[in-house]
A and B are shown apart, each in its own frame.
Chain A
Amino acid sequence: MNGVHDMGGMHGMGPIRREESEPVFHSRWEAQTFALNLAMGAWRKWNIDAGRYQIELIPAADYLRMSYYEKWFVRVIELAVKHGLVARAEIESGKPEPGSPKAEPPLTADKVPGMLAPGKGARRDIPGLPRFQVGQQVRARNINPAGHTRLPRYARGKLGTIDRHHGVFVFPDTNAHFLGEKPQHVYSVRFAARELWGEQASPRDAVYIDMWDDYLEPA
Protein backbone atom coordinates (compact mmCIF):
# COMPACT_ATOMS: atom_id res chain seq x y z
CA MET A 1 0.00 0.00 0.00
CA ASN A 2 1.14 3.51 -0.72
CA GLY A 3 1.25 4.31 2.98
CA VAL A 4 3.26 6.76 5.00
CA HIS A 5 5.39 3.82 6.22
CA ASP A 6 6.96 3.76 2.74
CA MET A 7 9.00 6.86 3.48
CA GLY A 8 12.23 6.39 1.55
CA GLY A 9 13.08 9.68 -0.17
CA MET A 10 10.64 11.87 1.75
CA HIS A 11 11.61 15.24 3.17
CA GLY A 12 10.28 17.09 6.19
CA MET A 13 10.72 14.45 8.87
CA GLY A 14 13.15 16.59 10.87
CA PRO A 15 16.65 15.97 12.20
CA ILE A 16 17.89 12.56 13.30
CA ARG A 17 17.88 12.54 17.09
CA ARG A 18 20.31 10.23 18.80
CA GLU A 19 20.47 9.31 22.43
CA GLU A 20 23.70 8.63 24.29
CA SER A 21 23.81 5.25 26.06
CA GLU A 22 20.32 4.45 24.88
CA PRO A 23 18.66 1.64 26.87
CA VAL A 24 17.22 -1.35 24.99
CA PHE A 25 13.80 -0.45 26.38
CA HIS A 26 12.90 2.99 27.69
CA SER A 27 10.30 1.71 30.10
CA ARG A 28 8.72 -1.45 31.36
CA TRP A 29 5.72 -1.19 29.05
CA GLU A 30 7.97 -1.15 25.98
CA ALA A 31 9.65 -4.38 27.08
CA GLN A 32 6.26 -5.95 27.86
CA THR A 33 4.86 -4.89 24.49
CA PHE A 34 7.85 -6.36 22.67
CA ALA A 35 7.50 -9.66 24.54
CA LEU A 36 3.72 -9.82 24.06
CA ASN A 37 4.13 -9.46 20.30
CA LEU A 38 6.58 -12.37 20.16
CA ALA A 39 4.65 -14.56 22.59
CA MET A 40 1.33 -14.02 20.78
CA GLY A 41 3.10 -14.74 17.49
CA ALA A 42 3.84 -18.21 18.88
CA TRP A 43 0.16 -19.06 18.30
CA ARG A 44 1.08 -19.03 14.59
CA LYS A 45 -2.23 -17.46 13.65
CA TRP A 46 -0.39 -14.87 11.56
CA ASN A 47 3.00 -14.52 9.92
CA ILE A 48 5.72 -11.86 9.92
CA ASP A 49 4.38 -10.25 6.73
CA ALA A 50 0.87 -9.99 8.17
CA GLY A 51 2.46 -8.45 11.25
CA ARG A 52 4.20 -5.78 9.19
CA TYR A 53 1.04 -5.11 7.20
CA GLN A 54 -0.95 -4.64 10.40
CA ILE A 55 1.37 -1.78 11.36
CA GLU A 56 0.99 -0.26 7.89
CA LEU A 57 -2.78 -0.21 8.48
CA ILE A 58 -2.37 2.31 11.30
CA PRO A 59 -3.79 5.59 9.92
CA ALA A 60 -1.02 7.84 8.61
CA ALA A 61 -1.40 10.63 11.16
CA ASP A 62 -1.34 8.13 14.03
CA TYR A 63 1.59 6.26 12.49
CA LEU A 64 3.72 9.41 12.54
CA ARG A 65 2.59 10.44 16.02
CA MET A 66 2.95 7.10 17.77
CA SER A 67 6.18 5.82 19.25
CA TYR A 68 7.59 2.56 17.91
CA TYR A 69 6.31 0.27 20.62
CA GLU A 70 2.96 2.05 20.73
CA LYS A 71 2.51 0.81 17.16
CA TRP A 72 3.47 -2.68 18.34
CA PHE A 73 0.85 -2.40 21.10
CA VAL A 74 -1.86 -1.58 18.55
CA ARG A 75 -0.65 -4.35 16.27
CA VAL A 76 -0.81 -7.17 18.77
CA ILE A 77 -4.32 -6.20 19.82
CA GLU A 78 -5.62 -5.91 16.27
CA LEU A 79 -4.09 -9.24 15.21
CA ALA A 80 -5.32 -11.05 18.32
CA VAL A 81 -8.87 -9.76 17.77
CA LYS A 82 -8.85 -10.36 14.01
CA HIS A 83 -7.71 -13.96 14.48
CA GLY A 84 -10.15 -14.76 17.24
CA LEU A 85 -7.74 -15.13 20.16
CA VAL A 86 -9.32 -12.26 22.08
CA ALA A 87 -12.68 -10.52 21.84
CA ARG A 88 -12.77 -6.75 21.44
CA ALA A 89 -15.00 -6.60 24.52
CA GLU A 90 -12.32 -8.37 26.53
CA ILE A 91 -9.72 -5.80 25.49
CA GLU A 92 -12.11 -3.06 26.56
CA SER A 93 -13.07 -4.61 29.90
CA GLY A 94 -9.67 -6.15 30.63
CA LYS A 95 -11.47 -9.31 31.74
CA PRO A 96 -12.07 -12.65 29.98
CA GLU A 97 -15.65 -13.14 28.82
CA PRO A 98 -17.56 -15.17 31.41
CA GLY A 99 -17.38 -18.85 30.56
CA SER A 100 -14.59 -18.50 28.00
CA PRO A 101 -12.19 -21.45 28.12
CA LYS A 102 -8.67 -21.01 29.41
CA ALA A 103 -5.97 -21.81 26.83
CA GLU A 104 -2.53 -23.36 27.21
CA PRO A 105 0.16 -20.89 26.12
CA PRO A 106 2.21 -22.31 23.23
CA LEU A 107 5.28 -20.43 24.43
CA THR A 108 6.58 -21.26 27.88
CA ALA A 109 9.89 -20.03 29.29
CA ASP A 110 11.68 -23.29 28.49
CA LYS A 111 10.68 -22.94 24.84
CA VAL A 112 11.98 -19.38 24.42
CA PRO A 113 15.55 -20.34 23.36
CA GLY A 114 14.15 -22.74 20.76
CA MET A 115 11.77 -20.13 19.47
CA LEU A 116 14.58 -17.62 18.96
CA ALA A 117 16.94 -20.21 17.43
CA PRO A 118 17.35 -20.45 13.67
CA GLY A 119 14.22 -21.98 12.23
CA LYS A 120 12.84 -22.45 8.80
CA GLY A 121 13.14 -18.72 8.11
CA ALA A 122 11.77 -17.27 4.91
CA ARG A 123 14.02 -19.20 2.49
CA ARG A 124 12.49 -22.11 0.62
CA ASP A 125 14.43 -24.89 -1.07
CA ILE A 126 12.56 -24.94 -4.31
CA PRO A 127 14.30 -25.92 -7.53
CA GLY A 128 14.30 -23.61 -10.50
CA LEU A 129 16.79 -21.24 -12.06
CA PRO A 130 16.55 -17.53 -11.36
CA ARG A 131 15.01 -15.53 -14.18
CA PHE A 132 17.74 -12.88 -13.99
CA GLN A 133 21.52 -13.16 -13.94
CA VAL A 134 24.02 -11.10 -11.97
CA GLY A 135 24.96 -8.08 -14.05
CA GLN A 136 21.68 -8.06 -15.98
CA GLN A 137 19.73 -4.81 -16.34
CA VAL A 138 16.22 -4.90 -14.93
CA ARG A 139 13.39 -2.48 -14.32
CA ALA A 140 11.39 -2.37 -11.11
CA ARG A 141 7.75 -2.71 -12.07
CA ASN A 142 5.39 0.17 -11.54
CA ILE A 143 2.85 -1.51 -9.32
CA ASN A 144 0.68 0.18 -6.71
CA PRO A 145 -1.07 -2.57 -4.77
CA ALA A 146 -3.49 -1.47 -2.05
CA GLY A 147 -2.29 -4.38 0.09
CA HIS A 148 1.13 -5.25 1.46
CA THR A 149 4.22 -4.97 -0.70
CA ARG A 150 7.95 -4.61 -0.06
CA LEU A 151 8.61 -2.78 -3.31
CA PRO A 152 9.27 0.78 -2.14
CA ARG A 153 7.65 3.55 -4.12
CA TYR A 154 10.92 5.34 -4.76
CA ALA A 155 12.19 2.41 -6.86
CA ARG A 156 9.13 1.77 -9.00
CA GLY A 157 9.77 2.15 -12.71
CA LYS A 158 13.50 2.61 -12.16
CA LEU A 159 16.34 0.85 -13.96
CA GLY A 160 18.76 -1.23 -11.96
CA THR A 161 21.32 -4.01 -12.23
CA ILE A 162 21.18 -7.42 -10.56
CA ASP A 163 24.01 -7.37 -8.01
CA ARG A 164 23.47 -10.69 -6.22
CA HIS A 165 21.07 -13.58 -6.21
CA HIS A 166 19.97 -14.66 -2.72
CA GLY A 167 17.87 -17.75 -3.37
CA VAL A 168 14.15 -18.39 -3.09
CA PHE A 169 12.05 -16.69 -0.40
CA VAL A 170 8.43 -16.41 0.70
CA PHE A 171 6.65 -13.60 -1.17
CA PRO A 172 5.28 -11.03 1.31
CA ASP A 173 2.68 -9.58 -1.06
CA THR A 174 0.66 -12.80 -0.90
CA ASN A 175 1.83 -14.18 2.45
CA ALA A 176 0.72 -11.06 4.35
CA HIS A 177 -2.83 -11.70 3.14
CA PHE A 178 -2.74 -15.47 3.77
CA LEU A 179 -2.88 -16.08 0.03
CA GLY A 180 0.03 -18.50 0.03
CA GLU A 181 3.80 -18.27 0.22
CA LYS A 182 4.34 -18.04 -3.56
CA PRO A 183 8.11 -18.56 -3.06
CA GLN A 184 10.34 -16.87 -5.62
CA HIS A 185 13.87 -15.69 -6.27
CA VAL A 186 15.18 -12.65 -4.44
CA TYR A 187 17.97 -10.44 -5.72
CA SER A 188 19.86 -7.41 -4.50
CA VAL A 189 19.34 -4.85 -7.23
CA ARG A 190 21.72 -1.92 -7.56
CA PHE A 191 20.11 1.40 -8.50
CA ALA A 192 22.39 4.29 -9.30
CA ALA A 193 21.58 7.21 -7.01
CA ARG A 194 21.09 9.40 -10.10
CA GLU A 195 18.56 6.98 -11.57
CA LEU A 196 16.52 7.31 -8.37
CA TRP A 197 17.03 10.96 -7.48
CA GLY A 198 18.32 12.76 -10.56
CA GLU A 199 21.25 15.09 -11.05
CA GLN A 200 21.38 16.23 -7.42
CA ALA A 201 22.70 12.83 -6.38
CA SER A 202 26.33 11.79 -6.40
CA PRO A 203 27.33 10.06 -9.65
CA ARG A 204 29.16 7.39 -7.62
CA ASP A 205 26.51 6.45 -5.09
CA ALA A 206 23.92 3.69 -5.30
CA VAL A 207 21.03 2.16 -3.38
CA TYR A 208 20.74 -1.63 -3.18
CA ILE A 209 17.22 -2.96 -2.75
CA ASP A 210 16.24 -6.58 -2.15
CA MET A 211 13.62 -7.51 -4.69
CA TRP A 212 11.47 -10.53 -5.41
CA ASP A 213 11.16 -11.77 -8.95
CA ASP A 214 7.60 -10.45 -9.29
CA TYR A 215 8.86 -6.90 -8.70
CA LEU A 216 11.13 -7.01 -11.74
CA GLU A 217 10.92 -7.04 -15.51
CA PRO A 218 13.71 -7.33 -18.08
CA ALA A 219 15.03 -3.98 -19.26
Chain B
Amino acid sequence: MSSGHSHEHDHQEVPSDLTLRVKALESLLVEKGLVDRAALDALIDTYQHKVGPRNGARVVARAWVDAAYKQRLLEDATSAIAEFGFAGRQGEHMVALENTPTVHNLVVCTLCSCYPWPVLGLPPVWYKSAPYRSRAVIDPRGVLREFGLELAEDVEVRVWDSTAELRYLVVPERPAGSENLSEEELAALVTRDAMIGVAKVTMPKLGASA
Protein backbone atom coordinates (compact mmCIF):
# COMPACT_ATOMS: atom_id res chain seq x y z
CA MET B 1 0.00 0.00 0.00
CA SER B 2 1.49 3.33 -0.97
CA SER B 3 1.33 6.13 1.54
CA GLY B 4 -0.30 8.42 -1.02
CA HIS B 5 -3.13 5.95 -1.37
CA SER B 6 -3.78 5.75 2.36
CA HIS B 7 -3.96 9.52 2.58
CA GLU B 8 -6.84 9.52 0.16
CA HIS B 9 -8.57 6.91 2.27
CA ASP B 10 -8.33 8.98 5.44
CA HIS B 11 -10.40 11.66 3.83
CA GLN B 12 -12.59 9.00 2.28
CA GLU B 13 -13.70 10.17 -1.10
CA VAL B 14 -17.38 10.83 -1.30
CA PRO B 15 -19.16 10.18 -4.55
CA SER B 16 -20.32 13.53 -5.86
CA ASP B 17 -23.82 12.22 -6.38
CA LEU B 18 -24.44 11.66 -2.66
CA THR B 19 -25.93 15.11 -2.40
CA LEU B 20 -28.48 14.11 -5.01
CA ARG B 21 -29.04 10.60 -3.67
CA VAL B 22 -29.70 11.81 -0.13
CA LYS B 23 -32.00 14.53 -1.40
CA ALA B 24 -33.92 11.94 -3.42
CA LEU B 25 -34.21 9.63 -0.41
CA GLU B 26 -35.42 12.44 1.81
CA SER B 27 -38.04 13.50 -0.74
CA LEU B 28 -39.26 9.92 -1.09
CA LEU B 29 -39.56 9.39 2.66
CA VAL B 30 -41.35 12.72 3.10
CA GLU B 31 -43.70 11.93 0.24
CA LYS B 32 -44.51 8.54 1.75
CA GLY B 33 -45.26 10.19 5.09
CA LEU B 34 -42.45 8.28 6.80
CA VAL B 35 -40.57 11.35 8.00
CA ASP B 36 -41.50 14.93 8.70
CA ARG B 37 -39.26 17.61 7.23
CA ALA B 38 -39.61 19.94 10.21
CA ALA B 39 -38.55 17.09 12.52
CA LEU B 40 -35.44 16.53 10.40
CA ASP B 41 -34.59 20.23 10.68
CA ALA B 42 -35.11 20.14 14.45
CA LEU B 43 -32.79 17.15 14.79
CA ILE B 44 -30.10 18.84 12.72
CA ASP B 45 -30.46 22.11 14.60
CA THR B 46 -30.11 20.34 17.95
CA TYR B 47 -26.76 18.77 17.16
CA GLN B 48 -25.44 21.61 15.04
CA HIS B 49 -26.22 24.40 17.49
CA LYS B 50 -27.46 23.23 20.89
CA VAL B 51 -25.45 20.22 22.00
CA GLY B 52 -21.67 20.19 21.97
CA PRO B 53 -18.45 20.08 23.98
CA ARG B 54 -19.24 23.33 25.77
CA ASN B 55 -21.66 21.23 27.83
CA GLY B 56 -18.93 18.86 28.94
CA ALA B 57 -16.60 21.78 29.63
CA ARG B 58 -19.09 23.21 32.12
CA VAL B 59 -19.28 19.87 33.91
CA VAL B 60 -15.48 19.64 34.13
CA ALA B 61 -15.07 23.23 35.38
CA ARG B 62 -17.69 22.62 38.07
CA ALA B 63 -15.82 19.48 39.18
CA TRP B 64 -12.62 21.52 39.44
CA VAL B 65 -14.08 24.20 41.70
CA ASP B 66 -16.58 22.15 43.72
CA ALA B 67 -15.20 19.09 45.51
CA ALA B 68 -18.65 17.84 46.49
CA TYR B 69 -19.79 18.05 42.86
CA LYS B 70 -16.70 16.18 41.71
CA GLN B 71 -17.47 13.45 44.22
CA ARG B 72 -21.01 13.14 42.87
CA LEU B 73 -19.71 13.14 39.30
CA LEU B 74 -17.28 10.30 39.95
CA GLU B 75 -19.87 8.29 41.85
CA ASP B 76 -22.88 8.77 39.56
CA ALA B 77 -21.98 10.76 36.48
CA THR B 78 -25.42 10.46 34.84
CA SER B 79 -27.13 12.22 37.76
CA ALA B 80 -24.37 14.78 38.31
CA ILE B 81 -24.37 15.73 34.62
CA ALA B 82 -28.18 15.91 34.64
CA GLU B 83 -27.89 18.70 37.26
CA PHE B 84 -26.96 20.89 34.28
CA GLY B 85 -29.86 19.56 32.23
CA PHE B 86 -27.51 17.56 29.99
CA ALA B 87 -29.05 14.15 29.44
CA GLY B 88 -30.59 11.86 26.90
CA ARG B 89 -29.65 9.93 23.85
CA GLN B 90 -26.15 8.43 23.88
CA GLY B 91 -25.62 9.74 27.40
CA GLU B 92 -28.09 7.72 29.42
CA HIS B 93 -25.42 5.79 31.32
CA MET B 94 -22.48 8.11 31.94
CA VAL B 95 -19.18 7.37 33.66
CA ALA B 96 -16.65 10.09 34.54
CA LEU B 97 -12.95 9.20 34.56
CA GLU B 98 -10.56 11.42 36.49
CA ASN B 99 -7.11 12.10 35.10
CA THR B 100 -4.41 12.59 37.74
CA PRO B 101 -0.63 13.06 37.68
CA THR B 102 -0.31 9.25 37.76
CA VAL B 103 -3.32 8.03 35.72
CA HIS B 104 -4.28 9.11 32.21
CA ASN B 105 -7.61 7.95 30.73
CA LEU B 106 -8.33 7.73 27.02
CA VAL B 107 -11.68 6.84 25.41
CA VAL B 108 -12.27 4.99 22.14
CA CYS B 109 -14.94 2.89 20.47
CA THR B 110 -13.08 0.23 18.49
CA LEU B 111 -16.28 -1.35 17.13
CA CYS B 112 -18.12 1.72 15.88
CA SER B 113 -18.36 5.32 17.10
CA CYS B 114 -19.92 5.39 20.58
CA TYR B 115 -19.53 8.83 22.11
CA PRO B 116 -21.27 10.82 24.89
CA TRP B 117 -23.53 13.08 22.80
CA PRO B 118 -25.18 15.15 25.58
CA VAL B 119 -21.81 16.39 26.89
CA LEU B 120 -19.60 16.35 23.76
CA GLY B 121 -22.02 16.54 20.82
CA LEU B 122 -21.37 14.38 17.77
CA PRO B 123 -17.86 12.93 17.41
CA PRO B 124 -15.20 14.40 15.14
CA VAL B 125 -14.18 12.44 12.04
CA TRP B 126 -10.85 11.31 13.51
CA TYR B 127 -12.60 9.67 16.48
CA LYS B 128 -14.70 7.58 14.07
CA SER B 129 -11.79 6.83 11.76
CA ALA B 130 -10.00 3.51 11.31
CA PRO B 131 -6.57 4.87 12.34
CA TYR B 132 -7.77 5.99 15.78
CA ARG B 133 -10.09 3.05 16.43
CA SER B 134 -7.48 0.48 15.47
CA ARG B 135 -4.50 1.90 17.32
CA ALA B 136 -5.87 3.51 20.49
CA VAL B 137 -6.00 0.14 22.26
CA ILE B 138 -2.69 -1.35 21.07
CA ASP B 139 -0.55 1.79 21.06
CA PRO B 140 -2.20 4.50 23.18
CA ARG B 141 1.10 6.24 23.90
CA GLY B 142 1.88 6.41 20.20
CA VAL B 143 -1.58 7.79 19.49
CA LEU B 144 -1.18 10.41 22.21
CA ARG B 145 2.20 11.35 20.75
CA GLU B 146 0.46 11.97 17.43
CA PHE B 147 -1.78 14.39 19.29
CA GLY B 148 1.31 16.08 20.71
CA LEU B 149 1.03 14.56 24.17
CA GLU B 150 4.07 12.71 25.52
CA LEU B 151 3.35 10.89 28.77
CA ALA B 152 6.05 9.87 31.23
CA GLU B 153 6.72 6.14 31.57
CA ASP B 154 5.48 6.12 35.17
CA VAL B 155 2.03 7.40 34.21
CA GLU B 156 -0.52 4.62 33.89
CA VAL B 157 -2.54 4.81 30.69
CA ARG B 158 -6.07 3.43 30.88
CA VAL B 159 -7.89 3.03 27.58
CA TRP B 160 -11.67 2.67 27.78
CA ASP B 161 -13.21 0.80 24.86
CA SER B 162 -16.90 1.81 24.75
CA THR B 163 -18.29 -1.58 23.79
CA ALA B 164 -21.58 -1.28 25.75
CA GLU B 165 -24.05 1.53 26.45
CA LEU B 166 -21.81 3.18 29.05
CA ARG B 167 -20.48 6.51 27.81
CA TYR B 168 -17.27 7.96 29.15
CA LEU B 169 -16.26 11.54 29.95
CA VAL B 170 -12.65 12.22 30.90
CA VAL B 171 -12.20 14.84 33.63
CA PRO B 172 -8.81 16.28 32.75
CA GLU B 173 -6.38 17.68 35.29
CA ARG B 174 -6.88 21.29 36.21
CA PRO B 175 -3.91 23.18 34.80
CA ALA B 176 -1.33 24.70 37.12
CA GLY B 177 -1.65 28.47 37.38
CA SER B 178 -5.44 28.45 37.01
CA GLU B 179 -6.11 29.05 40.72
CA ASN B 180 -7.50 32.54 40.21
CA LEU B 181 -9.81 31.76 37.31
CA SER B 182 -13.57 31.69 37.70
CA GLU B 183 -15.62 28.60 36.89
CA GLU B 184 -16.66 30.21 33.63
CA GLU B 185 -13.08 31.06 32.68
CA LEU B 186 -12.04 27.51 33.51
CA ALA B 187 -14.79 26.07 31.32
CA ALA B 188 -13.45 28.13 28.42
CA LEU B 189 -10.10 26.31 28.73
CA VAL B 190 -11.55 22.80 28.57
CA THR B 191 -11.34 21.29 25.09
CA ARG B 192 -13.22 18.43 23.49
CA ASP B 193 -9.95 16.56 22.98
CA ALA B 194 -9.10 16.81 26.70
CA MET B 195 -12.48 15.25 27.55
CA ILE B 196 -11.77 12.33 25.19
CA GLY B 197 -8.32 12.01 26.74
CA VAL B 198 -6.10 12.83 23.76
CA ALA B 199 -4.95 16.17 25.20
CA LYS B 200 -4.36 17.98 28.45
CA VAL B 201 -5.90 21.28 29.40
CA THR B 202 -3.35 24.07 29.24
CA MET B 203 -3.31 27.68 30.32
CA PRO B 204 -3.34 30.24 27.52
CA LYS B 205 0.18 31.41 26.71
CA LEU B 206 1.21 34.71 28.26
CA GLY B 207 0.88 37.55 25.83
CA ALA B 208 -1.77 35.80 23.78
CA SER B 209 -4.75 38.02 23.16
CA ALA B 210 -7.69 37.29 25.42
Contacts and interface: CB of A to CB of B under 8 A. Distances in A.
A109 interface: yes
A94 interface: yes
B112 to A, nearest CB: 6
Contacts of B140: 205
B39 A39 contact: yes
A38 to B, nearest CB: 5
Contacts of B23: 29, 32
Contacts of A68: 12, 113, 125, 128
23 contacts: A7-B130, A24-B48, A25-B48, A31-B44, A35-B43, A35-B44, A36-B22, A64-B130, A68-B12, A70-B14, A70-B15, A70-B18, A73-B21, A73-B22, A86-B28, A109-B42, A118-B88, A119-B88, A122-B93, A150-B164, A166-B164, A169-B164, A211-B164
Interface residues of A, number: 93
CB-CB nearest 8 A-B residue pairs: A8-B110, A210-B164, A121-B92, A103-B33, A109-B38, A14-B6, A29-B22, A13-B130
Nearest to B140: A205
A163 to B, nearest CB: 9
Nearest to A119: B92
A209 B161 contact: yes
Interface residues of B, number: 86
Interface stretch (B54-62, B151-159, B175-183, B200-208): B151-159
Given A36-B25, A204-B156, 13 more contacts: A7-B110, A8-B136, A13-B133, A16-B132, A19-B125, A33-B22, A34-B44, A118-B92, A166-B93, A170-B165, A204-B157, A205-B141, A208-B161
